[in-house]
Amino acid sequence: MPSFFEIEKTCPITGARAGKIHTEHGIIETPIFMPVATKGSVRGVDWRTISELQAQIVLANTYHLTIRPGEASIERAGGLQEWSKWTGPFLTDSGGFQVFSFARRGQAKIDDQGVSFKDDLEGKIHFIGPNESMNIQKRLGADIVMAFDECPAGNADRKTVETAVRRTRDWAEKCTNFPLQKHQNLFLIVQGGKFEDLREKSLEEITKLDAKGYALGGVSVGESREEVEKVISNMTKKLPINKPRYIMGIGMPRDLIVGVLSGADMFDCVLPTRIARHGGYFSEGLRFKSVSQKDFSDDHDNPLVIGCQCPTCKTFTRAYLKHLFLRKEITVYYYLAVHNLFRLLNLTFDMRKAIFNDCFPQFLKKNLYLLS
């Protein structure tokens, strides 16, 4: 049996790395971007397309799935794969980010045991702590399970972040001791906000606990771009070298490049599908643009991005996509989402290839405009 994670190649100049994660439902080649299937489906995109885009793992949201349809229903169906018909690996988050967002709006109560909150569908009162989160994720049956942590807002004061770091450590211990299914793999999460010493403290405490992988949480939750990149650059390389490194919740092309440059292996974000629903897409150089902008019909017979090999760009013109968006035809959201997912997935594929071909520094030089 191969080990859970193997490093296949490391760039000797930058430390960027390519590897493989072995799960019961398939191998994940890293670095990799994970499309978000919040409620058990990638918003507006079918599984056949997700497979054709060569996505190797998707992320589902524990909070949303426990509220509806409930983990018992999914467990009876045979777990996430049987229920959703996505046959590849699943990662589930802990639900912490969602329930703590309720707390920031005054709709939840946090203590050292967990969070009591009122759901946003039926107004029922629920409680989730580390054991509850682990039990839900165990029943969902995901291949990778995230520990329950406290994610403070990006502008949280030091005292609030100190409390979050302490709770994250205490809850990580409980999550580590919780018996999951045999095929499941627990990842622990480092918190600390924008305070470098608290990040260091959290990292030291969390990495003392044995887990299959480690993640940086609380990144891109309201901080400035400079603060986000500082955390990614300083902390990622300090995570255990022999375990997968996951930066949670980032999806801008620049963030992925900075992450891989810093030694990260996994990324996720709702950004590709969310901006698609507002007419947004990644243009030449992977910059953000919108089909609704006034000059969008320039070169209207061309695709969104000349030379892009995604199904959308190989089929449709800019003018047609703008027409669909302005007329609010729902198919355009699918076409734009496919394009955006293709661009981010292929960015990670290109970086993996560059690492294997010993030309990652050249890749960086060629794509410096993404880092500007």
CB 311 within 8 A of CB 338: yes
The Cα–Cα gap between 53 and 80 comes to 20
The Cα–Cα gap between 310 and 354 comes to 20
Handedness of CA 188, 234, 4, 353 (dihedral sign): positive
Residue with tokens 């990842």: 187
The Cα–Cα gap between 9 and 21 comes to 14
Output the CA–CA distances (angstroms, integers) from residue 247 to 11, 193, 242, in the order listed.
19, 13, 16
CB 348 within 8 A of CB 256: yes
Would you call 258 exposed, middle or buried from its count of C-beta atoms within 10 A (0-12, 13-18, 19+)?
buried
- DSSP output for 326-354: HTT-THHHHHHHHHHHHHHHHHHHHHHHH
Whether 268 is catalytic: yes
The Cα–Cα gap between 131 and 144 comes to 16
- DSSP output for 60-129: E-HHHHHHTT-HHHHHHTTSHHHHH---S-EEE--SHHHHHHHHHTT-EEEETTEEEEE-TTT--EEEE-
Q: Which residues pair with 10 in a beta bridge?
A: 17
The Cα–Cα gap between 231 and 80 comes to 33
Whether 120 is catalytic: no
- DSSP output for 132-143: HHHHHHHHHT-S
Residue 180: φ, ψ to 5°: -90, 180
Considering 46, 93, 143, 298, which one is annotated as catalytic? 93
Q: Which residues pair with 289 in a beta bridge?
A: 281
Residue with tokens 């507006």: 44
Considering 149, 255, 268, 299, which one is annotated as catalytic? 268
Residues involved in catalysis:
93, 268
